[in-house]
Structure 1
Amino acid sequence: MSVRGENSPKRAAPLHSNHATEFHLSSEKEQQEAIEHIDEVQNEIDRLNEQASEEILKVEQKYNKLRQPFFQKRSELIAKIPNFWVTTFVNHPQVSALLGEEDEEALHYLTRVEVTEFEDIKSGYRIDFYFDENPYFENKILSKEFHLNESGDPSSKSTEIKWKAGKDLTKRASQTPNKAGKKRQHEEPESFFTWFTDHSDAGADELGEVVKDDIWPNPLQYYLVPDMDDEEGEGDDDDDDEEGLEDIDEEGDEDEGEEDDEEDGEVTSVKHFFSSLL
């Protein structure tokens, strides 16, 4: 049995745990440095985005001023077309859903619509509705403004409508009597004109946004929407024509059938004649 001498080499202690600890510390340090660099790069991106927004705003302000003479010219031309704006609103799918029958009657007196963005653009805009003398209210102009304050909170304000006696469309009863004198639920929507008194959520005013961003840039596209009732009527005429043709064809087939029967009768008679001779 051999015994290890004093000069024999000693087994080295394992270093695996130390290496793992050092690697973990190194990895955390690299990650932290990467996060700091990402934050620095992100700050540069944000700075460029802010600079781009300022430059884009200047461009929008420039072209907004350049568009004004064309908007003015367009309004002058629209004034020559009777019922242009009420037709445009009725043809717009979102706005038409807000219009009751009397709203449409009142909007027949609407002669002009103007959207004005405030000079700095980002602080808000105003929509003006110009009316002829009408049996509903005294106002010649109804306006609604939308504002953003310095903290970015939205708000709105509008013209008080001076309704004529008994003509306040926003206070019409939700139920109307039928011919039998009983009450029935009114199917028409809340009056379009309640929009002027609703300031509950200026930041999500759908009608204002639709008028400013969709209708105002190009109202002609909605004025020229074809009347679906006319199209359906034309389709009915076509159907009637097709039914008429089918009737003619059926009558023709019946006539042909009668002719065939007559011919068969004649052939039978001839055969019977020859048979009698035999």
Structure 2
Amino acid sequence: MKRDRSENSVENTDPKHTKIENDDPLMPFMQDFEDIQKDIEQLDIKCAHEQMNIQKQYDEKKKPLFEKRDEIIQKIPGFWANTLRKHPALSDIVPEDIDILNHLVKLDLKDNMDNNGSYKITFIFGEKAKEFMEPLTLVKHVTFDNNQEKVVECTRIKWKEGKNPIAAVTHNRSDLDNEIPKWSIFEWFTTDELQDKPDVGELIRREIWHNPLSYYLGLEEFDEFDDDFDEEFD
């Protein structure tokens, strides 16, 4: 789930697009055409930067509201566990994850930390989670540069013996009779890219964080099929 960034569009112009035949009617205008296109792209970059600055301003204004919301969430046992597992893209995480997520007392997002849209997500667990792991605070900080995602901080989880949900995932994947491949949300707390799995960070920052109540109540529906159908006919 990586975002396209217009800053990269000028640099990555495919050379084959500028290779035209000498008798092509576009040939006399090619240089002017390309220069104009570059100017348009530069304006797109400027627009993206200005939009990001506005977004940051409103992110700052939302902070007091997020704090008030968190005060309510703290009073609802298992809120984040239920919210995360009810997101359609996270519905096939292993059951062992839920046992641990039941102790997730706070989820925090610092978004748009720079003009490239870098972000940091923090999971804070209650003391009872020590039965499963340490530390109780997990952080993942993701930056973007030239449309490339880079993990600059990721908490290393120390699992207690027999409590590692990723081990259960490995067992499930080795079971050829298992028709529903399971995965662990804690696989996201690594520096390795999850292959063919949802980007947990993008799901949180773009969907769950802004309206967790709708997922907690099970009001959101999965529209992946519709998206794939639309892309096929675009």
In structure 2, which of residues 106, 123, 135 is the aligned counterpart of residue 129 of structure 1?
123
- What is the rounded CA distance, in whole Å, between the counterparts of 1:30 and 1:210 in structure 2? 47
After superposing the two structures, state which structure 1 stretch, 139-148 or 41-50, moved more: 41-50
1:189 matches 2:182: yes
In structure 2, which of residues 198, 205, 221 is the aligned counterpart of residue 212 of structure 1?
205
Q: Which sections of structure 1, spanning at least 5 residues, go unmatched?
A: 1-27, 176-182, 227-278
Q: How many residues are paired up? A: 190
Describe the shift of the 1:205–1:89 C-alpha distance in structure 2 as closer, same or farther (beyond 3 A): closer
CA shift for structure 1 position 215: 0.5
CA shift for structure 1 position 148: 2.1
- What is the rounded CA distance, in whole Å, between the counterparts of 1:82 and 1:185 in structure 2? 36
- What is the rounded CA distance, in whole Å, between the counterparts of 1:143 and 1:107 in structure 2? 15
| Consecutive aligned runs of 4 or more in structure 1 exceeding 6 Å deviation | none
Local SS of the residue matching 2:210: coil
TM-score (norm 1): 0.60
Paired residue for 1:140?
A: 136
Paired residue for 1:225?
A: 218
For 2:39, the aligned partner's letter is: E
Describe the shift of the 1:120–1:197 C-alpha distance in structure 2 as closer, same or farther (beyond 3 A): closer
Kept in 2, the 8 Å contact 1:114–1:129? The answer is: yes
For 1:101, the aligned partner's letter is: P
Show CA shifts across 1:161-188 (max 9, x none): 122233222224616xxxxxxx995667
Greater helix content: 1
1:174 matches 2:168: no
Kept in 1, the 8 Å contact 2:89–2:198? The answer is: no
Identity of aligned residues (%): 29
CA shift for structure 1 position 121: 4.5
For 2:171, the aligned partner's letter is: S
Kept in 2, the 8 Å contact 1:174–1:185? The answer is: no
Show CA shifts across 1:223-255 (max 9, x none): 1127xxxxxxxxxxxxxxxxxxxxxxxxxxxxx
Kept in 2, the 8 Å contact 1:128–1:141? The answer is: yes
Structure 1 segment 69-218 matched on structure 2, within 5 A? 69-98=64-93, 100-134=94-128, 135-149=131-145, 151-156=146-151, 157-172=153-168, 174=171, 189-200=182-193, 206-218=199-211
CA shift for structure 1 position 220: 0.5
CA-atom RMSD, angstroms? 3.0
Describe the shift of the 1:35–1:81 C-alpha distance in structure 2 as closer, same or farther (beyond 3 A): same
In structure 2, which of residues 30, 39, 51 is the aligned counterpart of residue 35 of structure 1?
30
Local SS of the residue matching 1:43: helix
Kept in 1, the 8 Å contact 2:107–2:124? The answer is: yes
